[in-house]
Chain A
Amino acid sequence: MIQVFPINTSAFGVEANGMTKRFGEFTALDAVSLKVAPATFHALLGENGAGKSTLVKCIMGYYQPDDGEIILANDKVTIGNPRVAHAFGLGMVYQHFTLVPAMTVAENLVLARDDVPPIVDWTKERKRLDRFLSGMPFRVPLNAKVSAISAGERQKSEILKQLYLRRRFLILDEPTSVLTPGEADEVLGMLRGMVEKGELTVLMITHKFREVMAFADEVTILRRGKLAGKGHVKDLTPDSMARTMIGAEELTVQPGRAGEFGGPKLTISGLNALDDAGQPAVRGVTLSVRGGEIVGVAGVSGNGQRQLIEVLAGQREAESGKILLQGEPYHATRQEMRRAHLSVLPEEPLKNACVARMSVADNLAFREFDRAPYATGGWWLNGAKFRDDAERKILRYKIRTRSSGSAIGELSGGNVQRTVLARELGGDVSILIAANPCFGLDFAAVAQIHAEIIAARNRGAAVLLVSEDIDELLELADRVVVMFNGELVYETPAAEANLTEIGRHMAGH
């Protein structure tokens, strides 16, 4: 039976000592210790694959550690499954929402309880909910459908749900990745307030140093499954934390900006497109990108950026509007892409730009396979050329693969993206379309991809960069536009960009 533990009504601490977790021969977590003191805001930092998720999943009972112990408020406990964790008052908020969109916030809250009665007495529940909310630092519209409220309100509802279920130790897994900077600050600020009042303990997985510096008390940093460092945030700087995260690895040096803007190379006018459900997603977008310029498109995900990129990449047909590449009309045919030297770095490269079961060499050849020297006489594939070229690109772009003949689906995310980068930027590039090119990648890959994009810009390419990461946009772009609800609503040179102003427009104000 589940070990009965008094439900905590105030914040408590969690200690995990010597946690080790192996998956087959791979050690995901190697004797890592984490100590979160009661009523503190603790940040867990690390690159992708550093073991952050594995560690919190061990604490939440999703995984059973091979070694190590968990101490909850001074008692050693065994957490056999997530229900036990919940009974102890541990709660987790995920990066993506787990609320039912078609139900109201109130319904979602009641639904989440373990003891939902067969017939819900809504008058009584409403009274209880109101009483509960009156003690909370933030409000959500209880009667609104989840599908109708903003991302910030949804994330607040997720957190409220955990508090409503009387969880006093919250694990947040990149909770702000879908929020505007303003919303993120608001939500984290409220949590910070509860922590300071001693009502809550927070362990937050993140990769945003800004949030760590502003909200966290202590930080634990993992690297490749091992504890790489820990300390009080006030003693640390973003630079020192980043160095601890990446270790001794050499990062690609970012080239400086060079060259002048040329004439417009990519011109979009009055573009309209629908989403998969047939609803308007891109509304009258008009935009022009000059040679030697990076235009960044900011926006909370789901505001039409994906559909805009899909139209440009040839994956979606536009309803109306005109696209010109170097002044010539464009309908996403191979000839037009070639003539204009168009390259695309789509988001989720394995899903959008690769064939998982084909080899790395084949995937590298997608743009060129049908002409000499890859094809002899326009018909015969020249296998030796595929291999030679692949081997050259694997070296040049530091793609880690067993061989050029390995299926690309076996590679890690960073190496898949490097492969696509090698294919798309390995030749002449005049126009580059990139969408969240660094999503989920480690520092080394991000630095390399950023350097390649800047280098392409310096060579005179027109770059359209869509990203949900504002820091990335401000670092790379020459000009930033904000997309909201399918429209471009704001434009500013990156040098004069004001984060608050951009955030306001992202939220549609």
Chain B
Amino acid sequence: MKADVGAALAPTAAKQFLREAFQPKIWRVAEYVVIPALALAVSLGLFGIFVALFGKNPLDLYYYMYLGAFGTWFSWQNTLIRAAPLILTALCTALPAQLGMVIIGGEGALLIGALTATGMALAISAAPPLVVQISMACAGMIGGGLWIMLSGALRHYRGVNETISSLLLVYIALAILNFLVEGPMRDPTSLNKPSTRNIGAANMIGNIPGTEVHWGLVFGVIAAVLSYILIYYTVFGFAARVAGGNLRAAKVVGLSVGKLILVTCFLAGAAAGLAGMMEVAAVQGAANANLAAGYGFTGILVAFLARQNPLAVIPVAVLLGGIGASDGLLQRRLDMPDASVLVLQGVIFLVVLASDSMYGRFGWFKRKAS
């Protein structure tokens, strides 16, 4: 008898449970998908107007952008190759954001990481390739990590604004790169474009089998997933969220805010440093000015568009990687200057920042969520 009642109740109870527990969550998440998507659509619309002013057809623009980013297997691979460092540099902004810090110096950590990784590879180039690769990764992460940790330390011990200091450190990193590449570390045979010596083909990180996409993408995805777990499932992440949500509350319960800042900044810089190592070990083969390709800056955009969520960083990085990948096609087919994609990125950034004020404004989401 009892079992019968239970069986009869179970489907309704389950349904109710689903309605109560699951639906609100979906609608809460929906807001975080719909608003950035709208922001993206508005940016594309604005960019369409911009392009129309130059006498091009915006519909052509959208078509070629799609074609160049996701239209063919070739463009997909191009997109993913660009997405790999973007995931990592986006983490450089998204991780400190959990603590309420705005770090925009991922580019600097990427360059320093590339330099230290290259230095490591050249120092032990005779070792077995796997040892060289692991040492490069460690060196890159430590280099990049310490670089951003410097910003964190300036903020914690000296009250220097971390946004400004991390940005200024980018230019210092760039100067160090140029100095070393054109000076002490220069390969005498690199005549037109100063470079360091090549790390050697054997030490290069290969591609994912069957593709032209290097392993950096896999490392990026792993780093993003680990970051997500760190933030939402560990004691450290919890403490960081408390401190990021309300510094005064964190102090009342005695959390060591300084330690949180330094460790988080180190991890953030390590992610960007790993991106730099990947660019050397999988793409360039040596450190040179090509490394300053703006991945660090686009990563800021990725992080903001993903609302600083490490998992959301992955699809957003693919999307932005796609926009970058479509650049070539736009130049060839529409005869547009190569900076036009940067204009689009700038427009997206402004619209996304502006859309931040829209959260919680739509009663529709709230009604659905409650």
Contacts and interface: CB of A to CB of B under 8 A. Distances in A.
A356 interface: yes
Interface in A305-346: 313-315, 332-338, 344, 346
Contact of B238 (A314, A333, A362, A378): A362
Interface string B225-251: 000000001111011011001101101
Contacts of B239: 369-370
Contact of B235 (A353, A367, A379): A379
Greatest chain B CB density within 10 A among A353, A356, A365 is at: A353
B251 A354 contact: no
Given A352-B249, A356-B246, A358-B241, A379 B234 contact: yes
Nearest to B239: A370
Interface residues of B, number: 18
A272 B235 CA distance: 35
B245 A356 contact: yes
Interface in B240-291: 241-242, 245-246, 248-249, 251-256
Contacts of B241: 355, 358, 362
B254 A333 contact: yes
Interface string A187-203: 00000000000000000
A355 B251 contact: no
A267 to B, nearest CB: 19
Given A314-B251, A369-B238, A333 B246 contact: no
A351 interface: yes
Contact of B245 (A336, A357, A367, A381): A357
Contact of B242 (A332, A338, A355, A379): A355
A313 B247 CA distance: 12
B246 A370 contact: no
Residue among B235, B242, B251, B254 with most chain A CB within 10 A: B254
Interface string B58-72: 000000000000000
Contacts of B255: 334
A358 B237 CA distance: 13
A333 B256 contact: yes
Interface in A347-384: 351-358, 362, 365-367, 369-370, 375, 378-381
A338 B242 CA distance: 18
Contacts of B254: 314, 332-338
Contact of A332 (B234, B249, B251): B251
B233 to A, nearest CB: 6
A23 to B, nearest CB: 13
B252 A346 contact: yes
Contacts of B234: 379-381
A353 B249 contact: yes
A369 B251 contact: no
Contacts of A379: 234-236
Contact of A315 (B235, B238, B251, B256): B251
Nearest to B20: A403
B253 A381 contact: no
A354 B246 contact: yes
A419 to B, nearest CB: 12
A355 B245 contact: yes
Given A355-B245, A380-B233, A344 B252 contact: yes
Given A358-B241, A370-B239, A352 B252 contact: yes
B251 A313 contact: yes
Contacts of A378: 235
A381 B238 contact: yes
A354 B235 contact: no
A381 to B, nearest CB: 6
A337 B246 contact: no
B252 A313 contact: yes
Contacts of A315: 248, 251-252
A346 B252 CA distance: 8
28 contacts: A313-B251, A314-B254, A315-B251, A332-B251, A333-B254, A333-B256, A334-B254, A335-B254, A337-B253, A337-B254, A338-B254, A353-B252, A353-B253, A354-B246, A355-B245, A355-B249, A358-B242, A362-B238, A365-B238, A366-B249, A366-B253, A367-B253, A369-B238, A369-B239, A370-B235, A379-B235, A381-B233, A381-B235
Given A370-B235, A381-B235, 13 more contacts: A314-B252, A315-B248, A315-B252, A333-B254, A333-B256, A335-B254, A351-B246, A354-B246, A355-B242, A356-B245, A369-B238, A370-B238, A381-B238
Interface of A: 313-315, 332-338, 344, 346, 351-358, 362, 365-367, 369-370, 375, 378-381
Q: Which 9 A-B pairs have the closest CB atoms?
A: A355-B245, A334-B254, A337-B254, A314-B251, A366-B253, A370-B235, A355-B246, A315-B251, A375-B235
